[in-house]
């Protein structure tokens, strides 16, 4: 039996992060091999009520792992390389979130490498998704379709990390910028789309079994799925939403406001509920689980927002989308990598004029190819 240890950021309520271990598990289980799968996050968590897989903690990984050929570690995806412990812990811990937002504590902790040195000693991970402790065999470590925007500084400042990535079994990245970073350091990689792209192949019955009647009723409308991250939107939200509504009114579309990121420092629900208070005619929907988010994205006439996995879900189910990536670099980079006409699918908050053209010119057969 092969023991698969899946490590990801699936311990916080953020739609894309919760998808990674589910996709890995479903894909591996579809193969005719005997496997055992353990799922890990930075902390132990149980978000099963939201459709997620429970996680063991990183501390459990070092306890459960054995250095033999039957053990494999898969880092399941996401923007995971570059972020230190404080930056990652802030999404799952109120205490560390406060430490992160205190510039003096943040500077001190990061300056002396306090958490990095302690975690390397304690659990063999100098960074949350870099498994460089001596107990782990590097040729049993696989990085699956990751984003690595923060890896350039990491690799520039440390030959140790260069050696680490040269010795792991496999590294795949999801965008051309990440690929260039590793190429410049002569580290082998493959360039593939985000792994959640295959959700439409793997996730079927869940979209019937775990989606409530109220969600299905909402999805029967002709609507645009709109999402925006807290502090990721325009300065004048009322003016911006008036422009979005002008577009939807022209095509008799309703607007469903649905949060995708609910973890600490994501806060889609905060800004979307504020929009709802200013625009009572719009629908605000709080998903009961991640499959309801997926269902609403699958059935929308267009996704408009700032979420990378809003885009990936639209891409998977062949749905038009338009993004505003001004404050989210990884979003623009991904679309620039995988679409022939990326500039037609994105714009600035001050200019929504391209949305209509993108909506009308969407070529479903071309996008499917």
- In this predicted model, what pLDDT tens digit does every residue of 323-358 receive, in sequence order? 999 999 999 999 999 998 899 999 999 889 999 999
What's the predicted TM-score (pTM) here?
Answer: 0.94
**Within the chain, what is the greatest distance between any pair of CA atoms?**
62
Q: DSSP class of residue 14?
A: B
Q: DSSP class of residue 270?
A: H
DSSP string, 204-269: -THHHHSS-HHHHHHHTS-EEEE---TTSS-S-HHHHHHHHHHHHHHTT-EEEE--SB-STTT-HH
Pairing of strands 71-75, 35-40: unpaired
Find, among 16, 143, 6, 18, the residue nearest to 81 by Cα. Answer: 143
pLDDT at 316: 97
pLDDT at 60: 96
pLDDT at 220: 97
Torsion-angle region of residue 243: left (phi > 0), alpha (psi -120 to 50) or beta? alpha
Question: In this structure, are residues 190 and 230 in contact, taking their beta carbons and an 8 Å threshold?
Answer: no
Find, among 89, 59, 60, 58, the residue nearest to 75 by Cα. Answer: 58
Q: Tell me the CA distances in angstroms from 139 to 45, 67, 127, one per residue in order.
A: 28, 10, 18
Regions of the chain with pLDDT less than 70: none
pLDDT at 8: 96
CA 307 – CA 39 distance, rounded (Å): 24
Residues in the chain, total: 369
pLDDT at 47: 97
DSSP reduced 3-state for 133: coil
């Amino acid at each position: 039996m092969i023991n698969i240890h899946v490590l990801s950021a699936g311990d916080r309520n953020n739609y894309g992060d919760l998808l990674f271990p589910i996709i890995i598990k479903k894909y591996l289980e579809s193969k005719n091999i005997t496997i055992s799968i353990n799922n890990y996050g930075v902390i132990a968590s149980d978000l099963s009520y939201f459709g997620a897989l429970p996680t063991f903690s990183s501390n459990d990984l070092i306890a459960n792992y054995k250095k033999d050929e039957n053990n494999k570690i898969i880092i399941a995806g996401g923007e995971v390389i570059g972020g230190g412990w404080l930056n990652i812990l802030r999404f799952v811990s109120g205490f560390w979130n406060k430490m992160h937002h205190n510039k003096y504590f943040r500077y001190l902790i990061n300056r002396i490498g306090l958490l990095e040195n302690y975690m390397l000693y304690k659990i063999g991970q100098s960074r949350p998704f870099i498994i460089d402790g001596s107990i782990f065999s590097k040729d049993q470590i696989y990085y699956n379709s990751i984003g690595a925007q923060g890896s350039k500084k990491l690799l520039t400042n440390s030959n140790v990390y260069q050696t680490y990535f040269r010795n792991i079994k496999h590294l795949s990245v999801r965008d051309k910028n990440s690929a260039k970073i590793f190429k410049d350091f002569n580290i082998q990689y493959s360039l593939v789309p985000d792994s959640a792209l295959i959700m439409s192949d793997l996730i079927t019955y869940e979209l019937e079994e775990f989606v409530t009647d109220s969600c299905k009723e909402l999805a029967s409308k002709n609507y645009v799925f709109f999402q925006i991250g807290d502090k990721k939107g325009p300065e004048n939200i009322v003016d911006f939403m008036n422009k979005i509504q002008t577009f939807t009114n022209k095509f008799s579309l309703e607007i469903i406001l649905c949060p995708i990121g609910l973890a600490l420092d994501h806060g889609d629900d905060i800004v979307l509920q504020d929009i709802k208070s200013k625009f009572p005619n719009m629908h605000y929907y709080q998903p009961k689980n991640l499959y309801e988010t997926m269902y609403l994205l699958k059935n929308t006439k267009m996704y408009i927002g700032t979420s990378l996995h809003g885009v990936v879900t639209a891409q998977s189910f062949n749905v038009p989308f338009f993004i505003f990536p001004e404050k989210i670099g990884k979003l623009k980079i991904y679309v620039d990598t995988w679409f022939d006409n990326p500039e037609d699918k994105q714009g600035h908050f001050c200019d929504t004029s391209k949305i209509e053209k993108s909506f009308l010119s969407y070529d479903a057969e071309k996008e499917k190819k």
